[in-house]
Amino acid sequence: MSSYGSSNPPPAGPLIPSDANLSSLFLTKRANINKGTVTQLVGLNEPVTVNASAGVITMFQGVLASDASIAFTVTNSYCSADSVVLVNVVKYNGPAVTTAVITAFVTARTEGTFTVMVGNGSGAVLDNTEGLEIAFLIV
């Protein structure tokens, strides 16, 4: 195998031979992971508990002002201080569905908890009457 650097640049074109067998690099089965769900019942910043490595958090059906954000804590036994926690908005069907700018990201991780920040980056009020859903995955 060649080593490439400034004095020995790689050849032009693809570095992977066209006849290479890459089938072992692709997953052929879906990973079997523990999934959970939880729903906020009292408010948008209500803490929730869901003990699973992946799942969906259905947020309280409240209103988030324009250009505002809220944070809530998720208690989860699968989370550690060095976990990688991914979050993503997977559902919003409120009135401004075509103009909504919703962000979700993790702001902190500790042993047994992580904190999710949800933001409304649009100039309009986010009317969460349909239940905003945030998916998470802990690695």
What domains sit in the chain, N to C, each tagged with a CATH number? Answer: 36-138 (2.60.40)
Confidence at 4, pLDDT banded by 50, 70, 90:
very low
Whether residue 130 is predicted with pLDDT greater than 80 in this model: the reply is no
- pLDDT at res. 39: 95
CA 51 to chain centre: 16
Q: Which residue has the tokens 């047994």?
A: 112
Confidence at 127, pLDDT banded by 50, 70, 90:
confident
Q: What is the pLDDT of residues 28-43, one digit of tens each?
A: 556 678 899 999 999 9
Kindly report the average pLDDT of the chain as a whole number: 82
Q: Between the CA of residue 61 and those of 5, 93, 122, 131, what are the distances in Å?
A: 56, 11, 18, 5
Higher pLDDT, 7 or 54: 54
Q: What is the pLDDT of residues 74-107, one digit of tens each?
A: 999 999 999 999 999 998 876 666 667 889 999 9
- pLDDT at res. 9: 56
